[in-house]
Amino acid sequence: MSLILADTPLDSRFLLGTAGYPSPEILRRAIEASGAQVVTMGLRRQLAHGASANEFVALIQASGARILPNTAGCRSAREAVTLARMARELFETNWIKLEVVGDEYTLQPDPFELITAATELARDGFEVFPYCTDDLVTCRRLLDAGCRILMPWGAPIGSGQGLVNPYALRTLRARLPDVPLIVDAGIGSPADAVQAMQLGYDAVLLNSAVAHAHDPVVMARAFKLAIEAGRLGYEAGLMPQQDMGVPSTPVTGQPFVL
C-alpha cells in the first residue's frame, strides 16, 4: 500500500482537506481516523483567521501529518504564485497544491493560468501538485511545465457527484502510466473513492464529504477503508465485465442423481 509522492514515502493514499469541520477537536480526530499523512490547508483562510491560525497549524503538526498548502481562491497565475511563495515561508515547505480557478459556477481550473503558474513555480523550486481537469493534453502540458504529480478532478469541488467522466480518468491512467495521479474534488461517498482507486489512481484527496458528514470521524474511517479496499482490488486484478453469464462452477456431461 506504500506510495511515493515527491520522493516522500507514504503509508496512506488518503489526502484530507481541513476546511469546514465543526471544531478543531473533530478535525483532529478525523485526521487520526483517516490515517492521512498529508493534509491540505488554504493560506487565504489562515491569513483571514489571524493569530488563531497558529493554533490551527499546531494542531495539524501535532497529528504528524504533512501540510500541503493550497492556493484556493486564486483567479490568476500571478496571484497563485504570490500566494505559493507566502505559503512556503509560512509553512516551511516547497510543496504546494496549485489551484487557479477559471469559472465561478463550476470552480473549474483555468488551464492557461494554471500552466503559467506551474511553470514559474517549478522553476522556483516548488513541488507543484496541480488541481486540474481530466483533459489529457492539459495534463501533458503540466508535466512539461515541471509537475511530477497531477490531481485531476472527479467532479466540481464540493459537488459530491463522484466520478462524472470515468472514461477520461481511465484514459489519463492508461496514457500516463508512470505519473502519480490523485483524484481531487467531487468525491461524495466511499463508493466514489473505491471507484477511483480501482481505476488505478494512486490516491484520493477530499474534504467536504468528511467535513460535512453527520459524523466526520466515522466518515473519515469509512473513506480510509474504501481507499484501501479499492487499491487492493486494483492490485489483485478485477474481474472483467462481460454481457453473458458464466457459471462459477463449470459442469460437464449429463446431470445425474445418486
Start-to-end Cα distance in the chain: 49
The CA distance from 59 to 121, in Å, is: 28
Q: Is 14 helix (H, G, I), strand (E, B) or coil?
A: strand
Nearest to 56 by CA among 94, 27, 89: 27
Nearest to 182 by CA among 149, 216, 214, 158: 149
Nearest to 37 by CA among 6, 83, 80, 81: 6
Q: Enter the C-alpha cell of residue 214.
A: 453527520
**Which residues in 181-214 are b (16+ Cβ under 10 Å) and which e?**
bbbbbbbbbbebbbbbbbbbbbbbbbbbbbbebe
Length of the chain: 258
In this structure, what are the phi and psi dihedrals at residue 173, rounded to the nearest 5 degrees?
-65, -40
Q: How many C-beta neighbours within 10 Å does residue 82 have?
A: 14
Q: Which residues are part of the catalytic machinery? A: 97
